[in-house]
């Protein structure tokens, strides 16, 4: 029995030696006999608590707000011409000086001059009518004294605004003339009817453009309507060629007139 007790004691010592980190406690008591009790208390270190660092949260600043700037629409400037007063009908009374050149007058240096009255009525923005009555005097085709009283009715085209300072115009129409050729008692009194066409311009004066200076050049062609006298001593007015049996006359003639004048509009 002593051998068994020693064995147990040796076993307990061995266990204590094998576990030095764990404190061992052995109790042996002999009470009324031999009893051996052995207890092993193993104390373990608590596992270390690893506190993970809090994650670093990087908060990026919010992007700046996008401000949309709306550009105002470009200003459209429309230049409009100044308002013109509406068209008003005009009536004009005028005076003019005239120079006339007929047929072959330039061959002899002859010519005629005179003056006249006219009435211009602009009833539409670009159209007007003209009524004229004139008187010419001088020497005719072959140097014979000649007096003429022509009258005319023309239609004018004025392409510009009626208050424009410079007014270009064209004119054309019908006309007639009564003439007194020669001296008593050898006198011829032809009567003509024909047409004319021309062009000119007005220069308007004053704030309201009520006064205008004008000039124009007109060409005409006309025909004699009455019979020519048979007396050979009466001048033929230059409308005949040759003499005697070879004399040839025509009832047609033409020429040019140039006029300058002034018109007052109402």
Q: Which residues contact 225 (CB under 8 A, 6 or more apart)?
A: 191, 192, 193, 251
- The reported pLDDT for the residue numbered 233 is 81
What digits encode the pLDDT tens for the residues 79-136? 776 678 899 999 999 999 999 876 554 455 567 899 999 999 999 999 999 999 999 9
* Residue 57 within a domain: no
- The reported pLDDT for the residue numbered 73 is 79
* Residue 68 within a domain: no
Q: How confident is the model at residue 24 (pLDDT cuts 50, 70, 90)?
A: very low
Question: What pTM value is reported for the model?
Answer: 0.66
Residue (of 193, 114, 175) closest to 146 by Cα position: 114
Number of structural domains in the chain: 1
Interatomic CA distance for residues 256 and 147, integer angstroms: 16
- The reported pLDDT for the residue numbered 46 is 67
The predicted model gives 141-155 an average pLDDT of 90
* Residue 153 within a domain: yes
Interatomic CA distance for residues 169 and 166, integer angstroms: 10
* Residue 124 within a domain: yes
* Residue 189 within a domain: yes
Mean pLDDT rounded to a whole number for the chain: 81
Q: How confident is the model at residue 1 (pLDDT cuts 50, 70, 90)?
A: low
* Residue 19 within a domain: no
Please, what is the end-to-end C-alpha distance for the chain in angstroms?
169
What digits encode the pLDDT tens for the residues 248-266? 788 998 899 999 999 999 9
Its domain, for residue 100, covers 90-265
CB half-sphere exposure, 61, CA atoms < 13 A: 3
* Residue 230 within a domain: yes
- The reported pLDDT for the residue numbered 105 is 45
pLDDT at residue 30 is higher than 60: no
* Residue 217 within a domain: yes
Percent of all residues in the chain with a pLDDT value above 90, rounded to a whole number = 46
Q: Judge whether 189 and 227 are in contact, CB under 8 Å.
A: no
3-state secondary structure (DSSP) of residue 240: strand
- The more confidently predicted of residues 218 and 41 is 218
Residue (of 197, 147, 142, 155) closest to 177 by Cα position: 147
CATH number at residue 240: 2.40.160.20
């Amino acid at each position: 029995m002593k051998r068994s007790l020693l064995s147990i004691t040796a076993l307990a010592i061995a266990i204590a030696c094998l576990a030095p980190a764990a404190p061992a406690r052995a109790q042996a008591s002999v009470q009324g006999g031999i009893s051996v009790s052995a207890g092993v208390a193993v104390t373990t270190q608590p596992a270390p608590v690893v506190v993970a660092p809090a994650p670093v949260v990087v908060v990026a600043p919010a992007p700046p707000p996008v401000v949309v700037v709306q550009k105002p629409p470009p200003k459209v400037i429309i230049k409009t011409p100044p308002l013109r007063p509406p068209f008003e009908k005009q009536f004009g009374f005028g005076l003019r000086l005239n120079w006339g050149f007929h047929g072959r007058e330039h061959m002899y240096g002859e010519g005629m001059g005179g003056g006249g009255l006219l009435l211009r009525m602009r009833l539409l923005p670009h159209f007007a009518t003209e009524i004229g009555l004139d008187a010419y005097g001088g020497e005719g085709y072959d140097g014979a004294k000649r007096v003429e009283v022509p009258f005319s009715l023309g239609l004018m085209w004025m392409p510009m605004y009626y208050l424009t300072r410079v007014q270009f115009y064209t004119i054309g129409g019908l006309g007639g003339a009564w003439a007194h050729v020669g001296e008593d008692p050898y006198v011829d009194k032809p009567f003509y009817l024909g047409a004319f066409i021309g062009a000119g311009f007005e220069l308007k004066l004053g704030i309201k453009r009520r006064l205008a200076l004008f000039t124009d050049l007109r060409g005409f062609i006309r025909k004699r309507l009455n019979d020519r006298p048979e007396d050979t001593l009466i001048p033929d007015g230059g409308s005949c060629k040759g003499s005697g049996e070879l004399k040839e006359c025509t009832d047609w003639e033409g020429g040019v007139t140039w006029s300058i004048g002034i018109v007052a509009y109402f």
